[in-house]
Amino acid sequence: MATIEQCREALKEFAGNLGDMDESNKKLVRTVSLKVPDLDVTFHGTLREGTLEDVTTEPRDRAQIRLTINSDDLVALVAGQLNFASAWARGRVKLEASFSDLLRLRKLL
């Protein structure tokens, strides 16, 4: 099991990947949560201008984009050792968002 600190570092890498968004999606502003059930922690942040800002573990209102993933899978996903689509299909990753947000994020995930 990965540690909270390893997950925080993986989240920073994931946020760096958000910089690859195309220009039309960089105007997207959405609240994001990443629940890591095996560590009993949820990270919250705001996706703004292609970056993830204000990341905290403090409780917040329900996010517009919600991911649930175990710690080891998060680290493997960010390292490129786990494919998002196959992990999602096998139930290792859960993603909840509006249909329009899913379409916008498909290139990142």
What average pLDDT does the segment 63-76 reach?
93
- Lowest pLDDT segment from 46-50, 60-64, 88-92, 97-101: 46-50
Q: What is the total residue count of the chain?
A: 109
What is the pairing mode between strands 93-96 and 41-48? unpaired
Which residues, in sequence order, are bridge partners of residue 17?
none
Decide if pLDDT at 86 tops 80. yes
Helix (H) or strand (E) run with residue 70 in it: none
* Three-class SS of 37-55: HHHCEEEEEEEECCEEEEE
Q: What is the pLDDT of residues 28-55, one digit of tens each?
A: 788 999 999 999 999 999 988 777 888 8
- Global pTM? 0.85
- Residue 45 · residue 52 · CB < 8 Å: yes
Q: How confident is the model at residue 93 (pLDDT cuts 50, 70, 90)?
A: very high
